[in-house]
Amino acid sequence: MPENEAPPRIQPKRLGDYLEVISKAVFQTGISWRVVDSKWPDIREAMRDFGARAVAGLGARDIDRLAADPRVIRSHKKLEAIAGNAARMLEMEAEHGSFRAYLRSHADFEALVKDLRKQFKFLGAMGCYYFLHVVGERVPDYEEWHAAHTDSPAPTRRGWAAPDRARGDRVRPQCTPGAHHGAPRSRRTPGAPDSRRHALRRTQRERSRQPLPPAREEHAAQRERSRAHAPAGRAALPARPSRCPRVSERKSGIPSSIIAPPK
């Protein structure tokens, strides 16, 4: 499915068509839709073409077998949820005469979404919107619905449900392109507490400004003296105290008289 385009709608002819769409919404939970879309032909084959009775009859061994099948998204919880959703669909079809009759037996879209989330597992608000859009049911304008249910602005989606002026739907005003993109943004809000990384860097900067302890000053001065007496073209190592001056002379190249002056 191309970027920012709505999924194509279908005309369900059997209960398995509804089950396939709602199962795709279940598999997409927490996973990129590109991954699910690329594996969907193999998933449909492994799930027995989403026959409602066949999926509802999956037992524990069948779920284990599917969870080990590389063709599907191997999640025990999602596979068990799909089998349970298929059984619930069969019950609703027997109760209402058809699954479409169940979908259209609610007062409005919000009441239907609330009941869908109650009846079916692994189905969130966005999954309900996706499911109802694909199976051809009436859904509100996507951008308005997204803004009402989330704090982030909705991306522009071509093909999603648009407001119907003849029906009296409210039309969102279009903002001026680039009107809100030129304002500078700060990486950190003034007065906000520093993150752990910023606090560590600030501590390191403060330590670098402080004077060195006497022991470290003496060691630094000793290194400078060693470098001053080192032979040309050869890097001098820091002079470490040694029990044998000759060993230190061989390692550093500094005369033993400098490392350990005669007493």
The DSSP string of 89-124 is HHHHHHHHSSHHHHHTTSSSHHHHHHHHHHHSSS--
Q: What is the mean pLDDT of the chain?
A: 77
What are the boundaries of each domain within the chain? 15-149
Question: What pLDDT is stored for residue 242 in this prediction?
Answer: 52
pTM score: 0.58
- What pLDDT score was predicted for residue 260? 53
What residues contact residue 24 under an 8 Å CB cut-off, 6+ apart? 36, 40
Contact 133, 139 (CB under 8 A): yes
Residue 1 contacts by C-beta under 8 Å, 6 or more apart in sequence?
Answer: 7, 33, 37
pLDDT (0 to 100) of residue 216: 72
Q: Give the up-direction half-sphere exposure of residue 196: CA atoms within 13 A in the CB hemisphere.
A: 0
pLDDT for res 148: 80
| CATH of region 15-149 | 1.10.340.30
pLDDT at 197: 72
pLDDT in 10s for each residue of the chain, 263 residues: 444 578 899 999 999 999 999 999 999 988 888 899 999 999 999 999 999 999 999 999 999 999 999 999 989 999 999 999 999 999 999 999 999 999 999 999 999 999 999 999 999 999 999 999 999 999 998 888 888 876 555 555 555 555 555 445 544 444 444 444 444 444 555 555 556 777 777 777 777 666 666 777 777 788 777 777 766 555 555 555 555 555 555 555 555 555 455 55
DSSP-derived letter for residue 139 is -
